């Protein structure tokens, strides 16, 4: 399958623990943010999104936190499972008249059984 | 993968040859995108389309062209493949500009 990257930041967690994946974004004018998950050999899949007028949004087992002051985004995964092992990307969407999406390089999450 | 099919899944080609990658969607989404993914980089936009016959360049468009003659099909052509175009290519679709994307499974292209 397609490999994602050889030199990504890596987070290793024990099954059942909570995971926190961080992302620093670049543009204070970005008004929409998305987290994607990419499993080995697959394309990225949408996990959760958040608008800039919010600072927290929860999904099923996932929570995204947005700190606009320091341009930081985090993804929290509760009770991490082996199936959560993947590369996680944040994306910021900037409205410059048209929309521009900027993807982060990603973080690799390993879940130890 | 949300009704997106990329073909071929894998291809090896020689330097200087033309190559066409195909993306087919069954979701009737207006926007279609071609990205490349390389180690150490986030996804980088090559070209995108906002309707039939309406396309525009992304940040890494040199050496690539695209065509969209039907809503469901978006073709990416490498006019004369180079080793720097060895990459994994992803097609994506979205309902509107700036909305979340649905990605295909990717095409691994190796230029030798």
Q: Which residues of chain A have a CB within 8 Å of the CB of B43?
A: 44, 89, 103
Contact state of A3 with B100 under an 8 Å Cβ cutoff: no
Instruction: State the pairing for strand pair B107-111/B10-13.
Output: parallel
Determine the distance in angstroms separating the CA of A104 from the nearest CA of chain B, rounded to an integer: 5
Q: What is the pLDDT of residues B77-98, one digit of tens each?
A: 999 999 999 999 999 999 998 8
Q: Is any Cβ of chain B less than 8 angstroms from the Cβ of A73? A: no
For A92, nearest residue in chain B (alpha carbons): B98
Q: What is the pLDDT of residues A44-101, one digit of tens each?
A: 999 999 999 999 999 999 999 999 999 999 999 999 999 999 999 999 999 888 888 9
User: Which whole number is the average pLDDT over B15-37?
Assistant: 97
Determine the distance in angstroms separating the CA of A38 from the nearest CA of chain B, rounded to an integer: 10
Q: How far is CA B49 from CA A93, A94, B107, in A?
A: 17, 18, 19
For residue A2, give the nearest of B1, B40, B108 by CB distance: B108
Decide: helix, strand or coil at residue B84. Answer: helix
């Amino acid at each position: 399958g397609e490999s994602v990257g050889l030199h990504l930041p890596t987070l290793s967690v024990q099954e059942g623990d909570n995971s926190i994946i961080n992302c620093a974004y670049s543009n204070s004018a970005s008004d929409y943010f998305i987290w994607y998950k990419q499993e080995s050999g697959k394309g990225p899949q949408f996990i959760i999104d958040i608008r800039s007028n919010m600072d927290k949004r929860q999904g099923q087992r996932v929570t995204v936190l947005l700190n606009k002051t320091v341009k930081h985004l985090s993804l929290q995964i509760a009770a991490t499972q082996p199936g959560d092992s993947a590369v996680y990307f944040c994306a910021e969407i900037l409205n410059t008249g048209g929309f521009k999406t900027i993807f982060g390089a990603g973080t690799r999450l390993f879940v130890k059984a | 993968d949300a009704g997106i099919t990329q073909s071929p899944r894998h291809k090896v080609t020689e330097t200087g040859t033309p190559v066409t990658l195909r993306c087919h969607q069954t979701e009737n989404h207006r926007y279609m995108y071609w990205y490349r993914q390389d180690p150490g980089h986030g996804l980088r936009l090559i070209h995108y389309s906002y309707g039939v016959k309406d396309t525009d360049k992304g940040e890494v468009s040199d050496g690539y062209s695209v065509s969209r003659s039907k809503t469901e099909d978006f073709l990416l052509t490498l006019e004369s493949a180079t080793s720097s175009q060895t990459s994994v290519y992803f097609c994506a679709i979205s309902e509107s500009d700036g909305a979340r994307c649905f990605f295909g499974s990717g095409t691994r292209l190796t230029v030798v």
